[in-house]
Structure 1
Amino acid sequence: MDLDEPTPCFNPNSTPPAGTKRVVLVVAVALVDADGRVLLAQRPPGKTLAGLWEFPGGKVHADETPEAALVRELKEELDIDTAASCLAPFTFASHTYEDFHLLMPLYVCRVWNGTVRPLEGQKLAWVTPNRMGDYPMPPADVPLVAMLRDLL
């Protein structure tokens, strides 16, 4: 690779070449309470993958860092405040769905202000690490469960 040659720019909003899928960047967090339980949220009716349990988070906007998006999403979805400095990068998921490819950094957070409450009609559950596998999850989230069990 010649470092003097310009690198083609990647435009995430462009139409991908034939045979590829657009990459969607979302961010998620394993909120861990004082008892070592992890918060899972059930996707509400009407959303894609409704009824499945996931780690809270959401899409990263074009002008956001993953940490800023997660701070925003936690306020919007769960009415809690945290700071980027409280988010520890842990691992990521890379999964191809039918219409797109998902890239999802997963953070761990043990410090936030406020009481977790569902603001978007989702059900919530505080789950011990050894019980997370009992909750049906989207395919991208499933491999993250074993890694979290090992961490916690």
Structure 2
Amino acid sequence: MQGYMTTRKEYVHLSEAERREFDRREFRTVGTVYLPKTGTTPARCEKVWTRDVSMTGAKLSVNNEIPESRMYLKLLLPQFKDTLLECEIVHRSIVVRQAINGKERHEHVYGVRFLQLLREEQFAPQLKELLELTPQNPN
């Protein structure tokens, strides 16, 4: 596994309307976002990592761009077993990281707002099909 270091930090000033209702807590865990089919874009999923969370949202880090605005988030935590968080993206940014060997990679960072918590018995058939997908390995 290659190491990466951040070469540029981005500071974004958020207006009162853009700030979370609850305090953010640094918390890192892995999860998967499920993206339903839209138009000609097929359904897919991506592995994500949380950077921080609050009661109403989270900051997610992803290797690939997510152009959609809505997603379903599955966190790999015991308290979220058999549940999905429906989310909407409210902020997007890119962090450029540089490996020890000098190669750059772009990390896509998304601020998401939690819309609702869905339990397994609430999953629509299309959502159950989405959950059968597995994230592809990055190039």
| Larger Rg computed on CA atoms | 1
Fold conserved between structures, TM > 0.5: no
Q: What is the TM-score when the length of structure 2 is the normalising length? A: 0.32
More strand per residue:
2
Q: What is the TM-score when the length of structure 1 is the normalising length? A: 0.30
More helix per residue:
1
